[in-house]
Chain A
Amino acid sequence: MAGDGRTTNLGFEEVFRRHFDYVWRVAHAVAGPGAADDVTQEAFLVVRRRLDEFDGGSLRAWLFTVVRNVARNYLRSQRRREARLRAVPEPAPARDPDDEVALRQAADLLDQFMDSLPARQREAFVAVELEGLTARAVAEALGVPTRTVYSRVRTAREAFARFTADQRAMEAAS
């Protein structure tokens, strides 16, 4: 297996080892922190069942689709707000406290922004901006035209610009 997510000879073990963190991060970004663990668990059960159906292309885009679909089911049954109530923050690794605070604030702000996006924009934003998948790979995996992915990402970027402008305005006012 290549390490770049394009795979021709798949094994579940390899997928699990190499992409566990990726799957969890996508679950976290798409479904929210309280749902990330459960969605990751379910996603790997699906991957185990369906890995032989993957027929090439971007493995990461395929995994993204699995996580996104599991997350959709999850969020239908348990609204994200409820899931967030159950979120238990993981103890932070040892870093400089100031750096750590700044990093977490930035990550929290990004979570806040992603929460404000409609589901499909959010998915496109996570796939392309957060995880670096190409719009083409995402489009193929999701079964939508590439221009649709571009459109969603562009709209999300515009929303991000407005979001950060609002943040700056709020900081200036306080």
Chain B
Amino acid sequence: MNPTERQLADMVAAYRQVRRPPKHLRLQVARNVSRAQHQVVRRWLAGMGVGAAAAAAAIFVVHLVAVQSLSSRRDPAASPNEAVYEHRESDGDSSTVTPSRAPAADPAVPPPPAAETTAAPSSPTPARSPSSTTQNRSRPPSPASTTTAPNTREIRLLREAEVALARDPAAAQALLTTHRKEFPATILSQEREALEILADCAVSPNAEARRRRDAFGQRHPGSAYAARVRAACR
């Protein structure tokens, strides 16, 4: 190793020791990934059919369990020495590497250039501005942060209530009552309320149901459920 190579190695080692992510970031990213997944469930539950909602919820549960887990514990390998632990071991034996595929086209990820001479890829608009992380960091805690993240049972209850709505609205009401008791503070409260109104209107479209319907429309005019709720009790 010549002096330049040694100096580079020393600088790389220093870099890997001192360049570490902020402590808060891991949890913040885990939460934001969870919330993004939650938006997917909201869209599916609200706008798509029951079967699609069930599929989305199932996908969500798989991811959610993972994100909750990763936000609550750290891998022993991710210790302060992780950088050294990882270094030079990741791809040391290139002979065993099988061809991998770069991520396919993505709203947030342009395809890599096909060759050295290829022009820089186009810049599609990211699905979400990366700057939001910084914005979140500087923002005071939102009301949503005081609620609990949904878990598997919570999702299942809502999914079953959604399914029951079409054939047995009273059963849907019972499921939603259970949900309300077990998960009084949840980020899925809007979904629950919408389903409750739909169930109430299906069972007994009385003045109270219409009052809740109208109140929901005023509180959540932009909700993905707004159209369905508005059409209820008619």
Contacts and interface: CB of A to CB of B under 8 A. Distances in A.
Interface of A: 3-6, 11-13, 16-18, 20-22, 24-25, 28-29, 35-42, 44-46, 48-50, 53-58, 60-62, 65-66, 68-70, 72-74, 76-78, 86, 90, 92-93, 100, 102-104, 106-107, 109-111, 120, 129-134, 136-137, 140-145, 148, 157, 160-161, 164
A107 B69 CA distance: 33
Contact of A144 (B11, B110, B116, B127): B116
B1 interface: no
A57 B98 contact: yes
B115 to A, nearest CB: 6
Contact of B134 (A38, A72, A160): A38
Contact of B32 (A39, A41, A144): A41
B89 A107 contact: no
Lowest 10 A-B CB distances belong to which pairs?
A: A57-B100, A13-B66, A106-B14, A38-B130, A24-B21, A5-B90, A17-B75, A69-B109, A41-B133, A132-B88
Given A16-B66, A24-B25, A58-B90, 8 more contacts: A6-B96, A22-B86, A40-B133, A61-B91, A77-B126, A110-B11, A136-B94, A144-B114
A53 B89 contact: no
A132 B18 CA distance: 17
Interface in B1-30: 4, 7-8, 10-12, 14-23, 25-26, 28-30
Contact of B4 (A41, A137, A160): A160
A55 B97 CA distance: 12
B209 to A, nearest CB: 38
B78 interface: yes
B141 interface: no
Interface bin, chain B: 35 or more
Interface in B27-61: 28-30, 32-33, 36-37
B106 to A, nearest CB: 6
B25 A40 contact: yes
B103 A53 contact: yes
Nearest to B73: A17
Contacts of B12: 110, 129-130
Contact of A140 (B16, B97, B110): B97
A55 B103 CA distance: 10
Summarize A's interface: helix, strand, loop or mixed. Answer: helix
Contacts of A133: 90-91
Interface of B: 4, 7-8, 10-12, 14-23, 25-26, 28-30, 32-33, 36-37, 63, 65-67, 69-70, 74-75, 77-78, 80, 82-83, 86-92, 94, 96-104, 106, 108-116, 120-121, 123-124, 126-134, 137
Contacts of A131: 87, 90
A29 B83 CA distance: 14
A24 B97 CA distance: 24
Given A48-B37, A160-B8, A16 B70 contact: yes
B29 A148 contact: no
B7 to A, nearest CB: 6
B131 A102 contact: no
B90 A36 contact: no
B123 A134 contact: no
B91 A102 contact: no
Contacts of B127: 45
Given A50-B104, A69-B109, A142-B112, A58 B97 contact: yes
Contacts of A145: 115-116
